[in-house]
Structure 1
Amino acid sequence: MGSVRWADQIIVLDSGSMDNTVAIAKEYTNEVYQTDWQGYGVQKERALSYATSDWVLNLDADEAVDEDLKQELLTAIKSNQADAYRIPIRMEFYGKTMQHSSSPKRHIRLFKRDGAHYSLDIVHEKIILPPHVRIHQLSCPIRHQSFRDVSHALYKMNRYSSYTAKIRLENKKTGSITKTLLGSIWMFIRCYFLQRGFLDGREGLVLALFNAQGTLARGLKQLYPDKEIQYLPQVMEEKPCSKHSN
């Protein structure tokens, strides 16, 4: 949160963290709200409801804004040439920026608050804007510090594979051993070779393996659903989702 101290309003939602997350968040803002966990879409919609400024910047707990992006954000807001902006998101792994393994995806993260709301999906939520809004793109990326260490990477892989397996099961997609194995192999090939992850060195190889393992885990959880999937909101511990508005 230190990377957005300059924002007029910082809103943090915590959903049952067991560490000192709340205490740390309160060092940056008085607007720290504790809620139950019902999925990413619900959390972001809740956070948006607390925003009072005209513009909203949506950041997850593991994302940060550097000085270049800060200046680009402020310039975009001042220019008022658009109603929303897509921003590239660049992954960092063990302190190294992944230039190839994780190609920067662009998502709408800066937008005018009026008329905006989030879909209520458990995962892969979307910002829904009024019709005919002007959407432009920014060039400087959000820093996505995805994994603290290997244990954290495995934890997140297990969590997301449970989310996506649950969604697929709800959509009557049961999968198969063959599709699961081929999907895992294809994920590795795509990340390591097609996206040229090998140019990111050892970290590129490790990230490709993690992605392949996540695909494998998702497929197996579709084939062998368990209580973790059936009671996902109750068993998953989630870090806070934060919104920062200007």
Structure 2
Amino acid sequence: MSAGIGRRGLRRVEQVMGTAVSLDLADPFDADRLHALADGVFAWLREVDDRFSTYRADSEVNRLQRGALDHREISADLRHVLAECVRLGDETGGWFDAYATGSLDPSGYVKGWSVQVAADRLSAAGAGNFCLNAGGDIRVRGHSSTGRPWRIGVQHPLQRTKLAWVLEVDDTAIATSGAYERGDHVIDPFTGRGATGLSSVTVLGPDLGIADAYATAAFAMGERGIGWLAGHPGHDYAVLAADGRAYTSPGLPSIG
């Protein structure tokens, strides 16, 4: 864990859910309140990791998967996640599938959902200016410590030392699904093979769980996913095809 208090706000980074999670709090609260807010965020994300990880044999997801836990015994959170995965599967025509790998893996929704819940809890606790980034699943509100909207860089999947886009946002969710080194990171649920056609899909919207699922589904669709995203008002997108062609929605808040 690393943390630091600046003239205004706090920055903390921890390893959770298999990735580096950074929290920037830009409200002018005292140090005790800032640390308490950060403690609550990371405690929640560790709880999610314990219960939803597909790598932990004793997680709630894996106990349900192997039949050690009955559907009637599952937590309200897991019940919500499973219901949303079914709904999103229907909405995407089956392209978002929590069973795409052959076993239950709701990760394509869980990470975004858990960060959204953490952001909602921060807001309810009085925080109005923050950026929570869990390995590219990002929820921002308000302004950075500079007093300006948050600037978010989206890594270029084909040129790893470059950014594909820089987004300037003040209240939105940002989810990115990309091939990067792992071409099979997203599975085509209809073939069981790694999705092809796109290198990166970034989706912006009001809810990070849904944006995360949309990015996953569009990536799995390949180039047809661009048209699918265009049919969802209230969401912006930035897509890089496998050959480097770029596509963006008209309202994308990009500054570069």
One fold, TM greater than 0.5? no
Judging by fraction of residues, say which structure has more helix. Answer: 1
Task: Give TM-score scaled by structure 2 length.
Answer: 0.30
